Amino acid sequence: MSPAQIKTLDRAAINRQNSMYSTGPRTPAGKRISSRNALAHGLTASSPVLPSEDRAAYDRHVQQFRDEYHPATPTESQLVAELADTAWRLNRVPKLEAGLLDRAANPLTEEAAIAFDIVDAHRALATLGLHSTRLSRQFQKTLATLRELQAERAERERRSLNAAAALLELHKHKALPFNPAAHGFVFSKDQIEAHARHLTLLNQSRHIEHVLFHMPPPSGRSTEAGR
């Protein structure tokens, strides 16, 4: 008998001995749950949702991301979808890890104990760890790209609204009608009016802030001279 065969027999004997200390699932429901541990992890599958997962829960998960980031362009929508899918896969990893350990600790049969023991479980956990790291990096990269795009869009909108508000006030000063679309703006006149009022109040608040908090107090000499 070769050394490799002896090693295999020793491994099997150890696994049989370890399996004696495991009760394993006894009920039909428990056996069905344990049997699912053999399913593929699906962390690289084209579809983010496994057949065993709740599609309605996934849809709610995606909607939460859309509610948080409010994508306004097709590119932003694509990035939000990628973000949600990556997060869904990442959230699956702890469940997969628990399933692997349970499968090793609670084999259904003696053959199952030989085929998959705690050593195999730790090897599978190492693989899951690599997938988790990859997914975490993908999530952070996608999030950074999304935030950068949305910040750029917000800055463009702010500058455009400022320009529209300035033109609105100019038209008011000259008693001329103002049509935002005629100047290439996509904002409504009400939006521009509201922004102009906001800018006016902001400018007034800055003046008051300067007078109250930043303007130096009059010197004693100037006060005496005034008397």
- Calculate helix-pair angle for 55-69, 74-105, nearest 10 degrees: 140
Nearest to 40 by CA among 100, 116, 83: 100
Q: 37 and 103 in contact (C-beta within 8 Å)? A: yes
pLDDT of 13 above 70:
no
- Calculate helix-pair angle for 189-209, 118-173, nearest 10 degrees: 90
pLDDT of 25 above 50:
no
Give the percent of the chain with pLDDT over 90.
47
- Give the model's pLDDT for residue 37: 41
Q: Which residues contact 90 (CB under 8 A, 6 or more apart)?
A: 132, 135, 136, 139
Cα–Cα distance between 147 and 163 in angstroms, integer? 24
Cα–Cα distance between 28 and 38 in angstroms, integer? 17
Cα–Cα distance between 19 and 22 in angstroms, integer? 5
- Give the model's pLDDT for residue 10: 54
* Predicted TM-score of the model (pTM): 0.64
- Give the model's pLDDT for residue 33: 42
Q: What is the pLDDT of residues 70-118, one digit of tens each?
A: 999 999 999 999 999 999 999 888 887 766 666 656 666 666 665 566 6
Q: What is the pLDDT of residues 165-187, one digit of tens each?
A: 999 999 999 999 999 999 999 99
13-22, 63-72, 139-148, range with the lowest pLDDT: 13-22
pLDDT of 142 above 90:
yes
Q: 103 and 121 in contact (C-beta within 8 Å)? A: yes
Number of other residues whose CB lies within 10 A of the CB of residue 136: 14
Cα 156 → chain centroid: 25
Q: 6 and 14 in contact (C-beta within 8 Å)? A: no
Q: What is the pLDDT of residues 29-44, one digit of tens each?
A: 444 444 444 345 667 6
Higher pLDDT: 26 or 140? It is 140
